[in-house]
Structure 1
Amino acid sequence: MRIHMAGNQKFPSDLLFVVGLVVLTDIFVLIPVLNESFIRIVLGLPLVLFLPGYALVAVLFPTKTGLEGIERAALSVGISVAIVPLIGLVLNNTSFGIREGPLLVSLSLFVILACIVAYIRRRTLPENKAFGFSFKASAYSFLSEVLGKPQSSTEKVLRTFLAISVLALVGTVAYLSIVPHEQEPFTEFYILGADGKAENYTTEYVQGESGTVIIGVTNHEHRTVNYTLDVRLENESLPLPENLRNIKLDDNTTMEEPLEITPSVEGENMELQFLLFNETEKDTPYRDLRLWINVTEEA
């Protein structure tokens, strides 16, 4: 079997466009000044709803035969809808969690790596057999396929699915671009281990000795908030420094400060509570966290 290698073959225009769109999306999401623009939404939706599927379809079907343009488009949408939740599931089982940054990086890497693999697969094919993309020709072909008479019931289903997907995408972009959406106010409250990670918490103490946790608070309340922190061991408040007892945070700002815990009593499986109160409710904790610790008698 002969393998044809086109050593001087340029990076395909469709894959180059996809990679460029991914990079542009990352720029508009990550740069603070640009991420407030509606363009972020316009670019972000294809990254979630189309590009991952298109890149994977390009890997699976590198030749011109096998899939028509409308079938590629329909599969790209359907596969994207399947890929994104799977990536989210993987992230949810890591220390990164399902957050904007890790999800953006994961999707971007997936699309870019898939485009590179698709390019390598196309290079092994004769140039006249490898799938190519001309925007002008594809636009005419797409319109003729959509508006033309369907040849089979499968093609009818694919056209219907694609039409609904395109309408939903356009409608979503228009709605999100025109209608302002303010995120629900909330506060992030978390504790980290001494190494700054959500692990390796000190749970074994010797009476009179200290362990360190990092207290984290992020204000997303759309206003400046005065918080009060109370740390209790078996319902007895522990002494706190002033900068942690009373915390004033502007909107969209984060505070992370180390706190030394020095248990004065011994016991097993004791509840260490971290209670955060806001300025409107002084008796009921707004956010609360717990660790269970063991304290042994000093040797």
Structure 2
Amino acid sequence: MAAMPRWSWAWRAPRTSLLIWQAVGSCLVLSAVGTALAIGLAPYRLGIVPALVGLAGDLARGRLPATLSPVHLLLVACGLGATAWLAVAFARSAASVAALRRRQRTLLGLIARPHPDLREALVVEHPAVAAYCLPGRKAAIVVSTGSLDLLTDRELRAVLAHERAHARERHDLVILPFAALHRALPGSRLVHAMLEAVALLVEMRADDRAAADTGHLTLATALRRFRACDRVATPPGTLGGAGHDLDARIARLTARPRPSWPVRALLLIVASTVAGTPLSLFLLPL
């Protein structure tokens, strides 16, 4: 699994690969939590959910099964504690991102102006190159005057189409669970690699949507211009079209790899199996 972020085959079908990563992330979380709960609740000989209901009833009556040892109770407490810890990390990540976006919207209301020809774009006076999407129910696409001076009209449309894809497909919600997991386990190299892989795949998915409208070579040329110039880092809580591994994205757009439908179908089956296996711990007896 540690090698998966470096597998370039995943770049051939970013949307399918994102589903696989979501399945892998769910499997890791459910397996870690589910294993502790399943072993702790093994004396009930039920799935985790019905066993938890049984344990709650026994605790309310003040009468626990004789086969339920202190070790079992400790494992149940660890599993429930880990679940609460992850839920708090997710809630804090979501709240932090929401607060950052509110501040961004307030700031943009003060310094940005609508583009005279492109109603969807907000323009910020800055000589450096920047283009990013502020996602949400009222998404905003922001470009700097440096970007407007740098790009041709076709290239600008390609960049805007890329950012529009982020907004329409809510890629921020795709990244959020991995960001929350990284917040809960900041020292995990695997979780960090997963977050980086998902962030790159999200950019590649938006590249595909933009290239379908404006052409692969047009978007690749725009990204080359971004790579050659000084770029402003995208603000926290936003998604930037030039933010992740431009070399890999440019090479992919130039080569235009075509995904194999049989391989894609096989990968989806694998993803479903990976995600479904730990779920069985919660419903089926050991």
Structure scoring higher RCO (CA < 8 A, sep ≥ 6) equals 2
What TM-score, normalized by structure 1, do the two folds share?
0.27
Relative to total residues, which structure has the larger helix share, 1 or 2?
Answer: 2
Relative to total residues, which structure has the larger strand share, 1 or 2?
Answer: 1
> Rg: which structure is higher?
1
What TM-score, normalized by structure 2, do the two folds share?
0.28
